Amino acid sequence: MLAGIRSRTFGTTLALALAVSGLLVPATAHAAVGDLECQGTQETTFDPPLTNTTRLTKVKVTETWSTCADPAGITSGRGDLEVTVPSSCQSLGFGPESTVEYKWNNGRKSALRWTTVSVTRLTATSEVVKTGSVTDGYGQDDAATETITLVNPDLLACAASGVPSAQGVEVLTFQ
């Protein structure tokens, strides 16, 4: 019984010593040293405008990263992507693998290869999750994830003249 009390006392003392020394630190929601996390907006245009019929569409995406947390001094950035893919109001133009280059405020660049895309359609919005890797530049060999929340296209416009654009917010992480 005395050994059990000593063991618990030792364990408690060790945990307190680690906490006080800074070796036992609680997890935070911020990116770890070497990781990049950005928040921003996405503007996507469709030519021809999206309808309920799937057809070959030029999809142009402009991403503006207005708030970034990164130990290398990246605080903002921008990226542009243009692809031609079969699209409709249901698919929103997200399809095959794609490559995009981001230009950061500190003059650095990152080339990303998106290899998987999933679209979850909710009542008013769609959540798009892209995963891939940084193939060149800042963060090379890091895994990358981008989560985009877009307002769903207007159903009446999809049935008529079409939807020329979509906007949303997004989060990008390198790990």
Segment 124-131 shows an average pLDDT of: 91
Please tell me which residue, 3 or 19, carries the higher pLDDT value.
Answer: 3
Alpha-carbon torsion (43, 48, 54, 60), positive or negative: negative
Helix residue spans in the chain (DSSP H): 2-21, 155-159
Cα–chain center distance at 171: 4
Please tell me which residue, 2 or 60, carries the higher pLDDT value.
Answer: 60
Average pLDDT, the chain: 81
Cβ count within 10 A of residue 63: 21
- Whole-number pLDDT of residue 118: 86
**At 130, which helix (H) or strand (E)?**
strand 125-137
Residue 4, pLDDT above cutoff 80: no
- Whole-number pLDDT of residue 92: 72
> If 0-12 CB within 10 Å is exposed, 13-18 middle and 19+ buried, where does residue 163 land?
buried
pLDDT tens digits, 8-56: 433 333 333 333 333 333 333 333 445 899 999 999 999 999 999 999 9
pLDDT tens digits, 86-122: 999 887 766 667 889 999 999 999 999 999 988 888 8
- 135: confidence class by pLDDT, cuts 50, 70, 90: very high
CA 45, 168, 61 angle in degrees (round to 5)?
35
Lowest mean pLDDT of 3-7, 41-45, 150-154, 167-171, name the range.
3-7
